[in-house]
Amino acid sequence: MPRELARVPARSASIEPLHSLLEDAAWDVFIRTMRDTATQLKNRTIWNINSTVRGGGVAEMLAWQIPYERGAGMDVRWLVIQGGTPFFTFTKRLHALLHGIAADGSMINDAERKEYAQTLAGNAEAVAREIQPRDIVILHDPQTAGLAPYFVRHGCRVIWRCHIGVDQPNEVAKGAWRFLLPHVAAAHATVFSRRAYVWEGLDQQRVDIIPPAIDAFAPKNEELNGETVAAVLRITGILADGPAGQPRLKVGAIAVERTTDLFPAARLPEDARLTVQVSRWDRLKDPLGVMEGFAQFVAPRVDSHLILAGPGVSTVADDPEEAEVLREVEDRWHHLAPAARDRVHLARLPMDDAQENAIIVNALQRRAQVVVQKSLGEGFGLTVAEAMWKGRPVVASRVGGIQDQIEHGKSGLLIDDPHDLAAFGAAVVSVFSDTGAADRLGAEAKRRVQRQFLAPRQMMQQAQLVGRLLQHAT
């Protein structure tokens, strides 16, 4: 049966503020590329299709990229596929398989294949009249890969963009590739975040490498002074009320008024030194390992508090496991040594308003003395770039795209083995122990993001790819 895809309201944003991030020569190349691609599109539309409107890096990226592209004169739109619990349960398992993890077995059974095919067929049928032949369709991640053959047959130019991957694929990961390969191979182009992620069996002439980027002017990354940071964290219920406590705050046009659900419920001291990880409640982000590593190897040596921050449960449509993972972390918290347990906090951030949520994350990262991302696997790790842009020293695993962002010892610290809790703890302690070195790491981190991981570079690479596809369109 056809499924009515969710349509994310389209808005436009001027690209002129991006000029301040580029030297004049680089800006000239960027603006010319964007305008040339807009001219090539003529009456064509670019459709982005993914699996959720909020939660996760893809949704965040589309939320800023599409308005800029529309501001540059392109007709760009965003659709979100619809599916039932069996579909998203399977695609979550498929996500794990692509990372080489087969907790529930590596075989994809006939019922899962049928659910995947039928759900995507219904989604394709629902938009077949709206998406016109000759349009550009950009499909994001495994949830949408099965749509590629439909839109190729429909006459569209199709790009499949994979935001995940694994450094050393095992047979489990390769088995998941084989399931998706007939769908993905139909696309006119495939995009990966890293060369190491490119699958065997793909036409290498159709492969592009485009690392993700962040928007320096998005609410999550905009400049906030210390007073605003403290006020945001007081109002949302993370820090203890100071003398200027108030029930509501405006940060620009964004209202901050909803409360974070803290576990345990007690607020943190106003002067607490913070170690912060911001991520979805996902086993690949290893919240259990972060908590154990902090409790065993950081808390006994440094007077820091740990905040594990993630979305409110049941707010990320394509991740049915989040509640289970959060329960596991809460259960393990009860077994920590009491002295460490008092300094470990789980924060379920309000998600009713995406911009409010972004401001809270921004404030948390800016308030942190150390930002960590101890992932077991990571496609890219946008939270790393976000923290680096804020000049924070970052301690992270040497996995996936994280190792492309951080130069160990220069713009952050990398842990070679994400399972080595002692090494993780020692790296965090070293940042707290040498504030001068921490400041140098943070300053170089911001410079590195400005050079390589801001919006104009990603937008220009994608525009160039779209332009090439249009040149070869029949």
Please check the confidence at residue 319 and state whether its pLDDT lies above 70. no
Q: Read off the pLDDT of residues 456-474 as tens digits, 9 standing for 90 and up.
A: 999 999 999 999 999 886 5
In terms of C-beta density within 10 A (0-12 exposed, 13-18 middle, 19 or more buried), how is residue 168 classed? exposed
CA 194 from chain centre, in angstroms, equals: 15
Round to whole Å and give the CA distance between 366 and 386: 10
Cα dihedral: 75, 464, 50, 163 (round 10): -160
**Greater confidence, 313 or 43?**
43
Please check the confidence at residue 155 and state whether its pLDDT lies above 80. yes
3-state secondary structure of 280: coil
DSSP letter for each residue of 308-353: EEEEPTT--TT-TTHHHHHHHHHHHHTTS-HHHHTTEEEEEE--SS
Q: Read off the pLDDT of residues 44-81 as tens digits, 9 standing for 90 and up.
A: 999 999 999 887 789 989 999 999 999 999 999 999 99
3-state secondary structure of 158: strand
Q: CATH 3.40.50.2000 in the chain, residues?
A: 6-213+454-471, 226-452
Mean pLDDT across 406-434: 98
Strands laid side by side in the 207-209 sheet: 6-7, 76-80, 46-50, 136-140, 157-162, 189-192, 207-209
pLDDT at 315: 54
3-state secondary structure of 159: strand
Class of the CATH-defined domain 226-452: alpha beta
Buried b (16+ CB within 10 A) or exposed e, 63-77: bbbbbbbbbbebbbb
What would the two tokens of residue 176 be?
A: 């998941």
CA 136 from chain centre, in angstroms, equals: 23
78 beta partners: 48
**Greater confidence, 182 or 316?**
182
What is the CB neighbour count within 10 angstroms for residue 343?
22
Mean pLDDT across 342-365: 95
Cα dihedral: 256, 446, 65, 90 (round 10): -80
Please check the confidence at residue 260 and state whether its pLDDT lies above 70. yes
pTM of the model: 0.90
Please check the confidence at residue 247 and state whether its pLDDT lies above 90. no
- How is residue 221 annotated by DSSP? T
3-state secondary structure of 310: strand
Nearest C-alpha neighbor of 392 from the set 446, 449, 454, 442: 442
Q: Read off the pLDDT of residues 111-126 as tens digits, 9 standing for 90 and up.
A: 999 999 999 999 999 9
Give, to the nearest 10 degrees, the angle between helix 287-297 and helix 322-333. 20
pLDDT at 472: 80
Please check the confidence at residue 317 and state whether its pLDDT lies above 80. no
3-state secondary structure of 238: coil
Region of 141 (left: φ > 0; alpha: ψ -120 to 50; beta: rest) is left
6-213+454-471: CATH, from 3.20.20.70, 3.50.50.60, 3.30.420.40, 3.40.50.2000? 3.40.50.2000
Q: What is the percent of the chain where pLDDT is above 70?
A: 96
Q: Read off the pLDDT of residues 23-47 as tens digits, 9 standing for 90 and up.
A: 999 999 999 999 999 999 999 999 9
How does residue 274 score in pLDDT terms, banded at 50, 70 and 90? very high
Mean pLDDT across 241-264: 83
Mean pLDDT across 133-139: 97
Mean pLDDT across 4-23: 93
Residues present in the chain in total: 474
Mean pLDDT across 426-435: 98
pLDDT at 242: 57
